[in-house]
Amino acid sequence: MISLAGRDILHSWGKFVLTGIGLGLLIGVTLTMAGVYRGMVDDARALLNNSGADLWVVQQDTQGPYAESSSLRDDAVRSVLGLPGVARAANVTYLTMQVRRAAAAGVAPAGASDDDVRAMVVGFEPGQPGEPGYLVAGRHITRSHYEAVVDIRTGFVLGERIRIRRHDYTVVGLTRRMVSSGGDPMVFIPLKDAQEAQFLKDNDAIVNERARTAANPSLNRPGVPGLLEAIQASQANNRNVNAILVQVQPGTDVEGVAEPVRRWKHLEAFTREQMEEILVAKLIATSAKQIGMFLVILAIVSAAIVAFIIYTMTLGKIREIAVLKLIGTRNRTIAGMILQQALGLGLIGFIVGKVAATVWAPVFPKYVLLETGDAVRGLLAVMVICALASTLAIRVALKVDPAAAIGG
Amino acid sequence: MKRSSIGTRRLVLGLLGVVLIAAMVYVVMRSGPLAPTRVTVVEAAEGRLTPALFGIGTVEARRSYVIGPTVAGRVRAVAVDVGDTVKAGQLLAEMDPVDLDERTAALDASVARAGSAMAAADAQRRDAQARKELAAVNARRYVELGQQNFISAGAVEARLQEQASADAIVSAADANLAAARQDQQRLAAERAGLRQQRANVRLLAPADGVVTSRDAEPGSTVVAGQAVVRVIEPSSLWVKVRLDQGRSAGLAAGLPAQVVLRSNPGRAFAGKVARVEAISDSVTEERVALVALDQAPASLSVGELAEVSVALPSTERAVLLPNAAIKRLQAQTGVWVMEGGALRFVSVRIGQASLDGQVQVLDGVKPGTAVVVHSEKDIGAHSRITVVDSLAGRTP
For chain A, say whether B45 makes contact (Cβ under 8 Å).
no
Identify the CA nearest to A123 among candidates A194, A178, A171, A64: A194
Amino acid code (one letter) for B110: S
Nearest CB to A355; choose among B23, B246, B379: B23
In a mutagenesis test of the A interface, which of B37, B40, B54, B389 is the best target, namely the one with the most A β-carbons within 10 Å?
B54
State the Cα torsion A333-A335-A339-A342 to the nearest 10°. Answer: 110
Task: List all residues of chain B from 350 to 389 with a beta carbon under 8 Å from chain A.
Answer: 353-357, 373-379
Q: What is the pLDDT of residue A155?
A: 87
Contact B10/A138, CB-based, under 8 Å? no
Per-residue pLDDT at A268 exceeds 70: yes
Q: Which residue of A has its CA nearest to B228?
A: A225
Contact A144/B54, CB-based, under 8 Å? yes
Q: Which residue of B has its CA nearest to A349?
A: B20
Q: What is the pLDDT of residues B117-136, one digit of tens each?
A: 999 999 999 999 999 999 99
Strand, coil or helix: A259: helix
Nearest CB to A138; choose among B355, B377, B395: B395
Lowest pLDDT segment from A116-125, A167-176, B195-204, B240-249: B240-249
Q: What is the pLDDT of residue A106?
A: 46
- Cα-flanking dihedrals φ and ψ of residue B337, to 5°? -105, 135
Amino acid code (one letter) for B220: S
Chain B residues lying within 8 Å of A133, measured CB to CB: 327, 378
Q: Which residue of B has its CA nearest to A24?
A: B20
For chain B, say whether A3 makes contact (Cβ under 8 Å).
no
Q: What is the pLDDT of residues A215-254, one digit of tens each?
A: 888 888 777 777 888 888 777 777 788 999 999 988 888 8
Residues lower than pLDDT 70 in chain B? 1-5, 31-34, 393-396
| Predicted complex: ipTM over 0.85 | no
Pairing of strands A137-138, A147-151: unpaired
Instruction: Return the biggest CA–CA distance within chain A.
Output: 118
User: Chain A to chain B, count of Cβ pairs less than 8 Å apart?
Assistant: 131
Q: What is the pLDDT of residue A180?
A: 86
CA distance B297 to B315: 33
Q: Which residue of A has its CA nearest to B30?
A: A358
Q: What is the pLDDT of residue B1?
A: 41
Pairing of strands B327-329, B332-339: antiparallel
For chain B, say whether A18 makes contact (Cβ under 8 Å).
no
Contact A372/B20, CB-based, under 8 Å? no
CB neighbour list of residue B146: distance below 8 Å, 6 or more residues apart:
B152, B153, B155, B156
Listed as own residue / partner, the contacts of B259-267 with beta carbons closer than 8 Å and 24 or more positions apart are B259/B291, B259/B293, B259/B306, B259/B307, B259/B308, B260/B306, B260/B307, B260/B308, B261/B59, B261/B297, B261/B300, B261/B304, B261/B305, B261/B306, B262/B304, B262/B305, B262/B306, B262/B307, B263/B299, B263/B301, B263/B304, B264/B297
For chain B, say whether A174 makes contact (Cβ under 8 Å).
yes
pLDDT confidence tier of residue A315, bands split at 50, 70 and 90:
confident
Identify the CA nearest to A274 among candidates A259, A291, A286, A293: A259
Q: What is the pLDDT of residue B183?
A: 92
The mean per-residue pLDDT over the stretch A355-375 comes to 86
Strands (E) across A206-262 are located at 240-241, 243-248
Comparing A149 with B284, the larger pLDDT belongs to A149
Q: What is the CA radius of gyration of chain B?
A: 49
CA distance B182 to A369: 105
Q: What is the CA radius of gyration of chain A?
A: 31
Q: What is the pLDDT of residue B211?
A: 92
Which one-letter DSSP state was computed for residue A203? H
Cis ω on the peptide bond leading into residue A65 (within 30° of 0)? Answer: yes
For the ranges A31-45, A300-314, B111-125, the one whose mean pLDDT is highest = B111-125
Q: What is the pLDDT of residue A2?
A: 56
Per-residue pLDDT at A133 exceeds 90: no
pLDDT confidence tier of residue A1, bands split at 50, 70 and 90:
very low
Contact by Cβ (8 Å): B335, A134: no
CB neighbour list of residue A310: distance below 8 Å, 6 or more residues apart:
A338, A341, A342, A345, A386, A389, A390, A392, A393
Give A399 to chain B, closest Cα distance, Å. Answer: 31
Chain A residues lying within 8 Å of B243, measured CB to CB: 144
Contact A137/B353, CB-based, under 8 Å? no
pLDDT confidence tier of residue A107, bands split at 50, 70 and 90:
very low
In a mutagenesis test of the A interface, which of B20, B54, B241, B379 is the best target, namely the one with the most A β-carbons within 10 Å?
B20
CA distance B295 to B275: 17
For chain B, say whether A143 makes contact (Cβ under 8 Å).
yes
Contact A372/B225, CB-based, under 8 Å? no
Question: First and final CA of chain B: distance in angstroms?
Answer: 66
Nearest CB to B223; choose among A192, A225, A370: A225
